[in-house]
Amino acid sequence: MQSLLKLSRGIDAFTRWTGKRLAWLILVAVIISAINAIVRKTFDVSSNSWLELQWVLFGIVFLLCSPWTLLDNEHIRIDIVNNLLPKRGRDIIDVIGHAFFLLPLTIVMIITGGPFFMRSVEINEQSGNAGGLPQWPAKSLIIIGFALLFAQGISELIKRIAVMRDLIPDPHASQVHALEAEVEHLVEAIEKR
Protein backbone atom coordinates (compact mmCIF):
# COMPACT_ATOMS: atom_id res chain seq x y z
CA MET A 1 0.00 0.00 0.00
CA GLN A 2 2.94 2.35 0.65
CA SER A 3 3.94 2.26 -3.03
CA LEU A 4 0.36 3.11 -4.00
CA LEU A 5 0.36 6.02 -1.54
CA LYS A 6 3.64 7.21 -3.07
CA LEU A 7 2.01 7.06 -6.51
CA SER A 8 -0.96 8.98 -5.10
CA ARG A 9 1.31 11.71 -3.71
CA GLY A 10 2.99 12.02 -7.12
CA ILE A 11 -0.35 12.31 -8.91
CA ASP A 12 -1.54 14.86 -6.36
CA ALA A 13 1.62 16.96 -6.76
CA PHE A 14 1.29 16.95 -10.55
CA THR A 15 -2.42 17.77 -10.36
CA ARG A 16 -1.86 20.69 -7.99
CA TRP A 17 1.08 21.98 -10.06
CA THR A 18 -0.86 21.92 -13.36
CA GLY A 19 -4.07 23.23 -11.82
CA LYS A 20 -2.40 26.25 -10.25
CA ARG A 21 -0.74 27.18 -13.53
CA LEU A 22 -3.65 26.52 -15.86
CA ALA A 23 -6.08 28.45 -13.65
CA TRP A 24 -4.28 31.62 -14.81
CA LEU A 25 -5.80 31.03 -18.24
CA ILE A 26 -9.05 32.37 -16.81
CA LEU A 27 -7.36 35.77 -16.53
CA VAL A 28 -6.04 35.43 -20.08
CA ALA A 29 -9.55 34.60 -21.33
CA VAL A 30 -11.00 37.63 -19.50
CA ILE A 31 -8.34 39.93 -20.99
CA ILE A 32 -8.96 38.56 -24.49
CA SER A 33 -12.69 38.98 -23.97
CA ALA A 34 -12.25 42.59 -22.83
CA ILE A 35 -9.93 43.47 -25.71
CA ASN A 36 -12.29 41.80 -28.16
CA ALA A 37 -15.27 43.76 -26.78
CA ILE A 38 -13.37 47.07 -26.85
CA VAL A 39 -12.14 46.52 -30.41
CA ARG A 40 -15.58 45.40 -31.56
CA LYS A 41 -17.40 48.39 -30.00
CA THR A 42 -14.75 51.02 -30.74
CA PHE A 43 -13.62 50.06 -34.23
CA ASP A 44 -16.57 47.89 -35.33
CA VAL A 45 -14.14 45.04 -35.99
CA SER A 46 -14.79 41.49 -34.85
CA SER A 47 -12.75 38.31 -35.01
CA ASN A 48 -14.18 34.83 -34.75
CA SER A 49 -10.75 33.48 -33.86
CA TRP A 50 -10.63 35.72 -30.75
CA LEU A 51 -14.07 34.48 -29.68
CA GLU A 52 -13.11 30.87 -30.28
CA LEU A 53 -9.84 31.35 -28.41
CA GLN A 54 -11.87 32.40 -25.36
CA TRP A 55 -13.89 29.19 -25.63
CA VAL A 56 -10.75 27.06 -25.99
CA LEU A 57 -9.16 28.73 -22.95
CA PHE A 58 -12.32 28.07 -20.95
CA GLY A 59 -12.26 24.46 -22.17
CA ILE A 60 -8.65 24.10 -21.06
CA VAL A 61 -9.47 25.39 -17.60
CA PHE A 62 -12.68 23.35 -17.30
CA LEU A 63 -11.23 20.05 -18.49
CA LEU A 64 -7.65 20.24 -17.27
CA CYS A 65 -8.41 21.80 -13.87
CA SER A 66 -11.19 19.32 -13.02
CA PRO A 67 -8.65 16.94 -11.44
CA TRP A 68 -7.50 19.80 -9.17
CA THR A 69 -11.13 20.33 -8.12
CA LEU A 70 -11.38 16.63 -7.26
CA LEU A 71 -8.06 16.76 -5.36
CA ASP A 72 -9.27 19.66 -3.21
CA ASN A 73 -12.64 17.97 -2.62
CA GLU A 74 -14.48 20.90 -4.19
CA HIS A 75 -16.58 18.86 -6.59
CA ILE A 76 -20.35 18.73 -6.37
CA ARG A 77 -21.92 16.27 -3.99
CA ILE A 78 -25.31 15.96 -2.38
CA ASP A 79 -24.45 17.53 0.97
CA ILE A 80 -27.86 16.86 2.53
CA VAL A 81 -27.41 13.11 2.14
CA ASN A 82 -23.65 13.23 2.71
CA ASN A 83 -23.93 15.10 6.01
CA LEU A 84 -26.48 12.64 7.40
CA LEU A 85 -24.08 9.74 7.04
CA PRO A 86 -21.33 8.78 9.47
CA LYS A 87 -17.77 9.22 8.26
CA ARG A 88 -17.43 5.53 7.37
CA GLY A 89 -20.59 5.75 5.25
CA ARG A 90 -19.22 8.80 3.40
CA ASP A 91 -15.95 6.94 2.80
CA ILE A 92 -17.80 3.93 1.40
CA ILE A 93 -19.84 6.17 -0.91
CA ASP A 94 -16.63 7.85 -2.10
CA VAL A 95 -14.99 4.49 -2.85
CA ILE A 96 -18.06 3.22 -4.70
CA GLY A 97 -18.47 6.52 -6.55
CA HIS A 98 -14.85 6.62 -7.67
CA ALA A 99 -14.58 2.92 -8.54
CA PHE A 100 -17.92 2.40 -10.26
CA PHE A 101 -18.85 5.82 -11.65
CA LEU A 102 -15.93 8.25 -11.99
CA LEU A 103 -13.26 5.86 -13.28
CA PRO A 104 -15.52 4.02 -15.78
CA LEU A 105 -16.84 7.36 -17.08
CA THR A 106 -13.32 8.66 -17.64
CA ILE A 107 -12.38 5.47 -19.48
CA VAL A 108 -15.45 5.75 -21.73
CA MET A 109 -14.67 9.40 -22.49
CA ILE A 110 -11.03 8.61 -23.34
CA ILE A 111 -12.00 5.67 -25.56
CA THR A 112 -14.78 7.54 -27.38
CA GLY A 113 -12.80 10.79 -27.50
CA GLY A 114 -9.87 9.14 -29.27
CA PRO A 115 -11.56 8.53 -32.64
CA PHE A 116 -13.36 11.88 -32.34
CA PHE A 117 -9.99 13.63 -32.00
CA MET A 118 -8.20 11.49 -34.63
CA ARG A 119 -10.88 12.13 -37.24
CA SER A 120 -10.56 15.85 -36.59
CA VAL A 121 -6.76 15.66 -37.07
CA GLU A 122 -7.07 13.53 -40.24
CA ILE A 123 -9.33 16.01 -41.97
CA ASN A 124 -7.60 19.03 -40.38
CA GLU A 125 -11.02 20.13 -39.14
CA GLN A 126 -11.49 23.87 -39.10
CA SER A 127 -14.12 25.99 -37.47
CA GLY A 128 -17.31 26.54 -39.41
CA ASN A 129 -16.95 30.25 -38.66
CA ALA A 130 -15.03 32.49 -41.03
CA GLY A 131 -11.58 33.11 -39.62
CA GLY A 132 -12.11 30.51 -36.91
CA LEU A 133 -9.53 28.24 -35.34
CA PRO A 134 -8.64 24.62 -36.10
CA GLN A 135 -10.85 22.27 -34.08
CA TRP A 136 -8.53 19.36 -33.36
CA PRO A 137 -6.49 21.08 -30.60
CA ALA A 138 -9.67 21.75 -28.65
CA LYS A 139 -10.86 18.18 -29.20
CA SER A 140 -7.58 16.85 -27.81
CA LEU A 141 -8.55 18.44 -24.50
CA ILE A 142 -11.26 15.80 -24.06
CA ILE A 143 -8.71 12.99 -24.03
CA ILE A 144 -6.11 14.87 -21.98
CA GLY A 145 -8.64 16.18 -19.46
CA PHE A 146 -10.30 12.84 -18.84
CA ALA A 147 -6.92 11.07 -18.66
CA LEU A 148 -5.84 13.50 -15.94
CA LEU A 149 -9.19 13.08 -14.18
CA PHE A 150 -8.74 9.29 -14.36
CA ALA A 151 -5.31 9.58 -12.73
CA GLN A 152 -6.67 11.82 -9.98
CA GLY A 153 -9.60 9.45 -9.49
CA ILE A 154 -7.11 6.61 -8.94
CA SER A 155 -5.25 8.79 -6.43
CA GLU A 156 -8.46 9.62 -4.56
CA LEU A 157 -9.48 5.95 -4.49
CA ILE A 158 -6.07 4.97 -3.06
CA LYS A 159 -6.28 7.66 -0.39
CA ARG A 160 -9.86 6.84 0.58
CA ILE A 161 -9.03 3.14 1.00
CA ALA A 162 -5.94 4.08 3.04
CA VAL A 163 -8.08 6.35 5.24
CA MET A 164 -10.59 3.55 5.79
CA ARG A 165 -7.74 1.22 6.80
CA ASP A 166 -6.34 3.88 9.17
CA LEU A 167 -3.08 4.06 7.21
CA ILE A 168 -3.24 7.83 6.70
CA PRO A 169 -5.24 10.68 8.21
CA ASP A 170 -8.16 11.92 6.15
CA PRO A 171 -6.77 14.63 3.84
CA HIS A 172 -10.20 16.27 3.70
CA ALA A 173 -10.95 16.19 7.44
CA SER A 174 -9.80 19.77 8.02
CA GLN A 175 -12.15 20.95 5.26
CA VAL A 176 -15.09 19.27 6.97
CA HIS A 177 -14.23 20.85 10.32
CA ALA A 178 -13.76 24.27 8.71
CA LEU A 179 -17.10 23.95 6.93
CA GLU A 180 -18.88 22.87 10.11
CA ALA A 181 -17.34 25.82 11.99
CA GLU A 182 -18.44 28.21 9.24
CA VAL A 183 -21.99 26.83 9.32
CA GLU A 184 -22.13 27.16 13.11
CA HIS A 185 -20.90 30.76 12.85
CA LEU A 186 -23.57 31.58 10.25
CA VAL A 187 -26.30 29.96 12.34
CA GLU A 188 -25.22 31.97 15.39
CA ALA A 189 -25.19 35.18 13.35
CA ILE A 190 -28.69 34.48 12.03
CA GLU A 191 -30.00 33.64 15.51
CA LYS A 192 -28.65 36.94 16.88
CA ARG A 193 -30.77 38.88 14.41
**Residue 182 pLDDT:** 67
Mean pLDDT by 10 residues, the chain (193 residues): 92 96 94 92 86 91 94 80 82 92 97 94 87 88 97 96 90 66 73 79
**126 domain-assigned:** yes
Burial environment of residue 42 by CB neighbours within 10 A (0 to 12, 13 to 18, 19 or more): exposed
**193 domain-assigned:** no
Residue 191, Cβ neighbours under 10 Å: how many?
7
Cα separation, 13 vs 155, in Å, equals: 11
**Number of independent structural domains in the chain:** 1
**191 domain-assigned:** no
Is residue 15 within 8 Å of 67, Cβ to Cβ? yes
φ/ψ (deg, to 5) at 103 = -65, -45
**179 domain-assigned:** no
**Residue 147 pLDDT:** 98
**190 domain-assigned:** no
pTM: 0.82
DSSP 8-state assignment for residue 26: H
**Residue 181 pLDDT:** 61
**Residue 161 pLDDT:** 94
**185 domain-assigned:** no
Range of the domain at 18: 2-168
**148 domain-assigned:** yes
**Residue 132 pLDDT:** 79
Cα separation, 97 vs 160, in Å, equals: 11
**180 domain-assigned:** no
